[in-house]
Amino acid sequence: MVFELASLAAVAFLSATLIPLGSEAVVVAMVLDNSAPMLAVFGVASVANTLGACVNWWLGQHLLVYQHKRWFPVKARELARAQTWFQRYGMWSLLFAWMPLVGDGITVVAGIMKARFAAFVVLTLIGKSARYAAVIALAVQKL
């Protein structure tokens, strides 16, 4: 059980960073296999995924100094549009940090915009926990 939860933590953490992974399949498999208590699966996935998002926040805080380099992955116009979007919707947009494709970007932009870290963690954890609760509920229905 410890190995399974550690593996889940690693996948959930990495999938919240800019690395394109998904942790939902691991969560569903663990629930269906009953390889760990459901509450442990929920907690480990939620916390690890939030910690991975914290890496994105940190990147947003520190990598913007390189925005004028040729290798920087985001163009100035796209960056300005993302910042305007975050100013409009603010911290509450972090409740959607769980969404595929855009969620990682939201957490990076939150770092760029110097979002308060404590509020970032709370809102991101709420959104990611709600997603894992829904994934687990759907998996349980299959039992």
How high is the mean pLDDT of the chain? 92
Task: Render pLDDT for 5-26 as a digit per residue (tens, 0 to 9).
Answer: 999 999 999 999 978 889 999 9
pLDDT band at 1 (very low <50, low <70, confident <90, very high): confident
> What Cα–Cα distance (Å) separates residue 49 from each residue in 45, 109, 138, 143?
6, 17, 19, 25
Q: Is the pTM of this model over 0.75?
A: yes
Q: Cα torsion for 37, 43, 45, 46, to the nearest 10°?
A: 150
What integer pLDDT is reported at residue 143 of this predicted model? 67
Neighbours of 68 (CB within 10 A): 8
What integer pLDDT is reported at residue 14 of this predicted model? 96
Residue 78 to residue 138: CA distance in whole angstroms: 36
With 90 as the cut, is the pLDDT of residue 67 above it? no
What integer pLDDT is reported at residue 68 of this predicted model? 84
What integer pLDDT is reported at residue 24 of this predicted model? 95
Residue 60 to residue 77: CA distance in whole angstroms: 16
What integer pLDDT is reported at residue 122 of this predicted model? 98
What integer pLDDT is reported at residue 82 of this predicted model? 85
Average pLDDT over residues 37-46: 97
